[in-house]
Amino acid sequence: MMQSQRYATVPVQSGVVQMGGNPYATMYQAEIGSADLTKMAVELSHARSSSRREFPELESDFMSPDIDEKAIRATRPEDMCLAIARAKADALLPKLQKEVLLICMDQVVSCDGGVREKPENEKEAREFLESYRQGSPATFINGMVVHNTATGRRISSLNSSKVQWNEFPDEVIDSLIIKGELFTCSGGVVVEDESLQPYRQRVEGTLDSVQGLPVEPLRQLLHRAQAPAVTHVVFDMDGLLLDTESAYSVAQQAILDKWNRKFTWDLKAKMMGKKAMQSGALSQSLPAQPANQSIRQ
């Protein structure tokens, strides 16, 4: 249910959030809760409306990626949705002259084994609606990309929700066609339309996801994208960079050989994390092995 050519720019204390939008008039309050972005109010406007998503506490702006989405295809709807969102980000990055968090999104619908985007004509729209009223569930798949231009970090994620309807009359289909809003929506269905709402049987997931803006997953992406850049990585040497475990066991057994004792896995577990003197005391407490018994592991 994504109107793919709408984006909003929202500055934060150390940069700007570039927000990819969706065409719905529901108001969502998304508390981001980070040092840079403490609260974001997202107002989603329908594609036919001139209003845009607004962030009351912050400056806002919109951009168009101007890409040919039809040229981006994939076998799996999840792959195609995410590929389109990434292509939007790639197209917009050269246009940005300041530090921003660029958020690009796309949505497709999977139903009856096929991928559905916006219906291209009335015939296709009626075919989509007919399948829904016959009980075919529609899965709304959202691809989300957040790119931090200050650090170069790009975070991607997928989110989906499923909706199923009871059988609805021809009058509902005719009403939706006349209103025309379904031609701007992936899958050709306006979930929140008042004539269709009474026939909604179940929703697996969240309505904001169905409407194209999964707020909680987006909040998590914003947090991850704003995290400080990684400058150093610390690796543990023993057992990770070098295979020292086997050499350690051999060395311990060589020491205990002098006292006819065996370095067992039980002893090794007790010694882990202990200081040298504590480990030595544990070794000394071991009973000696019979002279005719092998002490090697």
Residues 121-133 pLDDT 10s:
999 999 999 999 9
**pLDDT of the residue at 60:** 47
- The answer for residues whose C-beta is within 8 angstroms of residue 266's C-beta and 6 or more apart is none
Distances (CA, A) of 52 to 22, 32, 63, 210: 9, 20, 11, 19
Which residues are registered as beta bridge partners of 219? Answer: none
**pLDDT of the residue at 122:** 96
pLDDT tens sequence across 248-275: 788 888 888 888 888 888 888 888 888 8
Give me 143's structure tokens.
């691809």
131-158 b/e with 16+ CB inside 10 Å = b?
bbbeeebbbbbbbbbbbbbebebbbebb
CA–CA distance, 62 with 54 (Å, rounded to integer): 10
CB 102 within 8 A of CB 154: no
Average pLDDT, the chain: 77
CB 13 within 8 A of CB 2: no
* β-bridge pairing 101-111 and 15-20: parallel
Sign of the C-alpha dihedral, residues 182, 184, 186, 190? negative
CB 41 within 8 A of CB 55: yes
CA–CA distance, 228 with 143 (Å, rounded to integer): 24
Give me 199's structure tokens.
């026939």
Q: Look at 31 and 176; give whichever has higher pLDDT.
A: 176
pLDDT tens sequence across 98-115: 887 888 889 999 999 999
Q: Which range has the worst mean pLDDT, 41-45, 50-54, 243-247?
A: 41-45
Can you list the domains of the chain with their CATH numbers?
A: 7-226 (3.90.950.10), 235-297 (no CATH)
pLDDT tens sequence across 62-102: 677 888 988 999 999 999 999 999 999 999 899 888 887 88
pTM metric for this prediction: 0.64
Q: Which range has the worst mean pLDDT, 5-9, 42-46, 207-211?
A: 42-46
Which of 129-138, 147-156, 238-247, 254-263 reaches the highest mean pLDDT? 129-138
Q: List, by residue number, the catalytic residues.
A: 106
**pLDDT of the residue at 172:** 96
pLDDT at 167 over 60: yes
DSSP code per residue over 53-113: ---TTS----------GGG---SSHHHHHHHHHHHHHHHHGGG--S--EEEEEEEEEEETT
pLDDT at 218 over 50: yes
Rg of the Cα trace of the chain?
29
How many other CB atoms sit within 10 Å of the CB of residue 279?
Answer: 17
